[in-house]
Amino acid sequence: MTDLTRLTAVETAAAIASRETSAVDVAQAHLDRIAAVDGAVHAFLHVDAEGALAQAARVDAGEVTGPLAGVPLALKDVIVTKGVPTTVGSRILEGWRPPYDATVTERLRAAGIVVLGKTNMDEFAMGSSTEHSAYGPTRNPWDLTRIPGGSGGGSAAALAAYEAPLAVGTDTGGSIRQPASVTGTVGVKPTYGGVSRYGLVAFSSSLDQAGPCARTVLDAALLHEAMAGHDPRDSTSIDAPVPPVVAAARKADVAGLRVGVVKELSGEGYETGVQERFDEAVALLQELGATVTEVSCPHFAYALPAYYLIAPSEASSNLARFDSVRYGQRVGDDGVHSLEEVMSITRAAGFGAEVKRRIVLGTYALSSGYYDAYYGQAQKVRTLITRDFTAAFESVDVLVSPASPGVAFPLGAKLDDPLAMYRQDLATIPSNLYGGPAMSVPAGLSEGLPVGLQVMAPVQRDDLLYLVGGAFEAARPFASTPLTWEHA
């Protein structure tokens, strides 16, 4: 009998549409899978079995149709879901049940996609390992002693552990692509504004972007198409047609495509095995007919420090709304403390150490006398990075690099060294500062652990990611997660 949890999203949708199986049976198989293995992986913070089975029943009744109707999905817990807990990995929102759905959630439901539940993440999406979740770390299904990346490690781990064939993440500085890289999955950061941010709990408003996560490029493209499109409720939403991502994934042909290797995103700071897999990936793209040249983007070297001024500055503003008054946790309200004291006590108890660190950093960067020296300068660097991208795309169609400087590291290895943790986003941050789309696609193994190839494209050319990713995937199929711990 076919194991329904091992099918791709495309295969699952086809089996449901042909009545070989039912959406309810598929949903139940994945709920059973979660019950069996998530105690070890901890990909989910909340499983909505009742809601998932109800949505699946609607698909079976013919009430909802579409290319992904009946396919299960794991949703990162930063995207609000009406009546379903949304914690953002933080104690300050523990137990909060939003009164509305995010646009992404609405579109998933309209497409007939079955949301299984909410996945674990670094608190407020601040982290690169999912160890900064207030609810405990997620573990990498390739090796349970290692991290699954962050901040969206729960979504990536759910895919790698076959708990869901699709997932949604958000990417502020690499939080979709870095987990995809270290778990051997596909993760895409769409063009900024390509997917609505309405109902996405904000970390850094000029950088945050929801995107698709999957085990294959075509699955990711179909999810991308279902999620994307203009939303008048999001002032940054692009009012333009969604790029033809599904057609590109199916075409999967790079013959004649001009590929630029970013000089500044390789060599020093990248593990030897990662660099070797990347070099092999570039050689394969050449074999497939692409023209490869080295491209210099000199200001990429300043992306990391610029990001860690811009993002915390925006976070210090966005997180001010968590004041103990309107929603979420409220501590110290005993009739003795003033409102200001209750706010202070609540924030002290509700925010974790990494969130506090970034709020302090951002508040300092925005403070009188330092604004121009820090935040202002960082925005100038952002402009220079955008110019680097613009200049590069005059001579090449896409840029490539490793998606992460290393493979998954052991849990706890970098928790006491914030700078080492921040460097995990070395290759992914530039695309967020620019606003263009980027993808991580599996590129092989180093020391038995996954390595990702990053593809970056111009703004609104998300289809080029799927063209390259699809061709690369077809030429170098990726081995499934070994999951040896299941049989230990």
> In percent, how much of the chain has pLDDT > 70?
100
In a domain, 197, yes or no: yes
In a domain, 325, yes or no: no
Which pLDDT does position 339 carry in this prediction?
78
* Residue-wise pLDDT tens digits, 205-247: 999 999 999 999 999 999 999 999 999 999 999 999 999 999 9
In a domain, 193, yes or no: yes
What's the mean pLDDT in 298-311? 96
Q: pLDDT-based confidence at 389, cuts 50/70/90?
A: very high
Which pLDDT does position 16 carry in this prediction?
98
**Coil vs helix vs strand at 213:** strand
Q: pLDDT-based confidence at 414, cuts 50/70/90?
A: very high
Which pLDDT does position 458 carry in this prediction?
98
Q: Is residue 123 scored above 90 in pLDDT?
A: yes
Query: CA 95 to CA 345: how far, in whole Å?
Result: 18
The number of folded domains in the chain is: 1
Which pLDDT does position 463 carry in this prediction?
98
> Which one of the listed residues 90, 128, 129, 151 is annotated catalytic?
151
Query: What is the rounded (10 degree) CA torsion for 290, 291, 295, 301?
Result: 20
In a domain, 8, yes or no: yes
- Model-level pTM greater than 0.75? yes
* Residue-wise pLDDT tens digits, 34-56: 999 999 999 999 999 999 999 99
Query: CA 4 to CA 11: how far, in whole Å?
Result: 9
Note the maximum CA span of the chain: 72
Which pLDDT does position 488 carry in this prediction?
59
Which pLDDT does position 394 carry in this prediction?
98
In a domain, 347, yes or no: no
* Residue-wise pLDDT tens digits, 419-429: 999 999 999 99
Which pLDDT does position 266 carry in this prediction?
85
List the domain range (segments joined by +) for residue 258: 4-296+390-487
Q: Is residue 401 scored above 90 in pLDDT?
A: yes
Could you confirm whether 76 is annotated as catalytic?
Answer: yes
In a domain, 136, yes or no: yes
Which pLDDT does position 58 carry in this prediction?
98
What's the mean pLDDT in 350-372? 90
CA nearest 182: which of 441, 440, 407?
Answer: 407
Could you confirm whether 151 is annotated as catalytic?
Answer: yes
Q: pLDDT-based confidence at 370, cuts 50/70/90?
A: confident
Burial (CB count <10 Å: 0-12, 13-18, 19+), residue 372: exposed
What's the mean pLDDT in 136-151? 97
Q: pLDDT-based confidence at 336, cuts 50/70/90?
A: confident
**Coil vs helix vs strand at 13:** helix
> Which one of the listed residues 76, 118, 189, 414 is annotated catalytic?
76
Give Cα 273 distance to the centre of its chain.
24
The domain that holds 277 is classified in CATH as 3.90.1300.10
In a domain, 209, yes or no: yes
Q: Is residue 330 scored above 90 in pLDDT?
A: no
Phi/psi region, residue 436 (left: phi>0; alpha: psi -120 to 50; beta: rest), is beta
Q: How many CB atoms lie within 10 A of CB 244?
A: 16
Q: pLDDT-based confidence at 387, cuts 50/70/90?
A: very high
Mean pLDDT across the chain: 95
CA nearest 147: which of 46, 30, 44, 42?
Answer: 42
> Which one of the listed residues 129, 133, 155, 175 is annotated catalytic?
175
What's the mean pLDDT in 314-320? 92
Q: pLDDT-based confidence at 2, cuts 50/70/90?
A: confident
In a domain, 16, yes or no: yes
Which pLDDT does position 1 carry in this prediction?
59
Which pLDDT does position 188 carry in this prediction?
98
Which pLDDT does position 343 carry in this prediction?
80
Q: pLDDT-based confidence at 326, cuts 50/70/90?
A: confident
